[in-house]
């Protein structure tokens, strides 16, 4: 257990509304990630962070923004939700080193439905 908590776990929202998903970790990991998982596409990286205020885009970042003002919290915001953003969102942290190999630990997921 890497001490990762996601909230909310389930949310239904309307098209055009902003939505923020929160990821909280308790073990001071430097790297944090947001993935989305969809049938036929698998897990795709949205954004990641390598420290407070240090973030970068992943493969599918359009329509999403992130913030990391504290080590323990990584927020994912859908600026104006669209139906194509209906998905399961997973937060993750990485642990290890380049020499030993990094492994990823995932949260339990946030199910988002945009209607």
Interface ranges with another protein (CB under 8 A): 31, 33, 35, 40-45, 48, 50, 56, 58, 90, 92, 94, 98, 101-109
Nearer to another protein, 62 or 101 (CB): 101
Strand pairing of 87-95 and 19-25? unpaired
Could you tell me the strand order of the sheet in which 73-78 lies?
A: 4-7, 19-25, 73-78, 64-70
The CB-of-8 to another protein minimum distance in angstroms stands at 15
The CB-of-15 to another protein minimum distance in angstroms stands at 25
Nearer to another protein, 14 or 101 (CB): 101
Is residue 94 within 8 Å of 103, Cβ to Cβ?
A: yes
The CB-of-93 to another protein minimum distance in angstroms stands at 11
Nearer to another protein, 14 or 53 (CB): 53
Question: Cβ neighbours of residue 41 under 8 Å, at least 6 residues apart?
Answer: none
Nearer to another protein, 11 or 106 (CB): 106
Strand pairing of 19-25 and 4-7? antiparallel
Is residue 12 within 8 Å of 115, Cβ to Cβ?
A: yes
């Amino acid at each position: 257990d890497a001490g990762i908590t996601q909230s909310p776990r389930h949310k239904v929202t309307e098209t055009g509304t902003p939505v923020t998903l929160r990821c909280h970790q308790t073990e001071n990991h430097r790297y944090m990630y947001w993935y989305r998982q969809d049938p036929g596409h698998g897990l795709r990286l949205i954004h990641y962070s390598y420290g407070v205020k240090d973030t970068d885009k992943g493969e599918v970042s359009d329509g999403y923004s992130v913030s990391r003002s504290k080590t323990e919290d990584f927020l994912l915001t859908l600026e104006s939700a669209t139906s194509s953003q209906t998905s399961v969102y997973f937060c993750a942290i990485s642990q290890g080193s380049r020499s030993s190999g990094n492994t990823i630990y995932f949260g339990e997921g946030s199910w988002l439905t945009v209607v």
